[in-house]
Copies of this chain bind each other. A is one copy, B any other.
Amino acid sequence: MSAVARKTRRAVGADNVSLKSEFVAFKTNRIIEVASRLFYQSGYSSCTLDNVAEQLGVTKPFLYSYFKNKEAILAAICEVGISEALAVLEATLAGDHKNHRDLLAEVVRQVGRIVIDRQEYVVVYQREMKHLSADDHERILRLRHSFDHQIAELIREGIEAGEFREDTDSFVAVWIGGLISWIPTWYSPGGQRSADDVIDQLVTAALRLAGAEKPTN
């Protein structure tokens, strides 16, 4: 990967600022990719920046030219963890759907997919958020609240439309969030269950919680 990086850098002309910043983005991505895996495995506080650097084939001061400090790396990871989920949620909500039941199913499917694909980021986000600086913590929390709020709203509208059982209350949004968030603690890629199975079952479970039957595929 270091060889590729070198080659790419060579191709960056001085007059081409955008390519250069893309390259910086590429390196920051590599850093948080490796860091998220290590933080996931051994925990933020136990994982040293020397570990991260070693895994990347660079040295610690290298990291400091891309991130202000260790906490900034954590913040970047947390941001991926929540903002990608938020992005697919909003994209799905913006699309067209027959009814609320189908919309909920699709939302759960898409978010579930992200949570599985970005397992390390999501778990680090959930587990280590408390180590963020006050500013970062607040920023991330705002994203989270937006996420929760939109899910709750979807449920509320579905109840109003009579598509979910009317004794379904606002708790259901929390339970569905729990279903999704809990996946990374037991699902491991390459285990007995395929990601597709897990997601199918997740959708079924979410619809049952909402009191809506599984849509006929």
Residues of A within 8 A of B (CB): 41-46, 126-128, 130-131, 169, 171-172, 174-175, 177-179, 181-183, 185-186, 201, 205, 208-209, 211
Interface SS of chain A = helix
Question: Shortest CB–CB separation between residue A101 and chain B, in angstroms?
Answer: 15
Q: Judging by beta carbons under 8 Å apart, are A171 and B43 in contact? A: no
Determine if A205 and B43 form an interchain contact, defined as CB atoms under 8 angstroms apart: no
A42 and B130 form a contact (CB under 8 A): yes
Q: Report how many copies the assembly holds.
A: 2
Give, as a whole number of angstroms, the nearest-CB distance from A18 to chain B: 40
Chain B residues with CB under 8 A of A181: 182, 185
Residue from the list B130, B177, B185, B209 in contact with A43, Cβ < 8 A:
B130
Besides the known contacts A178-B182, A179-B182, 8 further A-B residue pairs in the complex with CB atoms under 8 A apart: A43-B45, A43-B130, A45-B45, A126-B185, A169-B201, A178-B179, A178-B186, A208-B209
A186 and B151 CA atoms in complex are apart in Å by: 15
**Cβ contact within 8 Å between B126 and A205:** no
In the complex, what residues of B have CB within 8 A of residue A183's CB?
178
Residues from chain B with a CB closer than 8 A to the CB of A211 are 208
26 A-B contacts (beta carbon < 8 Å): A41-B130, A43-B43, A43-B44, A43-B45, A43-B128, A43-B131, A44-B45, A45-B46, A46-B131, A126-B185, A127-B127, A169-B201, A171-B201, A171-B205, A174-B186, A175-B179, A175-B201, A177-B186, A178-B182, A178-B183, A178-B185, A179-B182, A181-B185, A205-B209, A208-B208, A208-B211
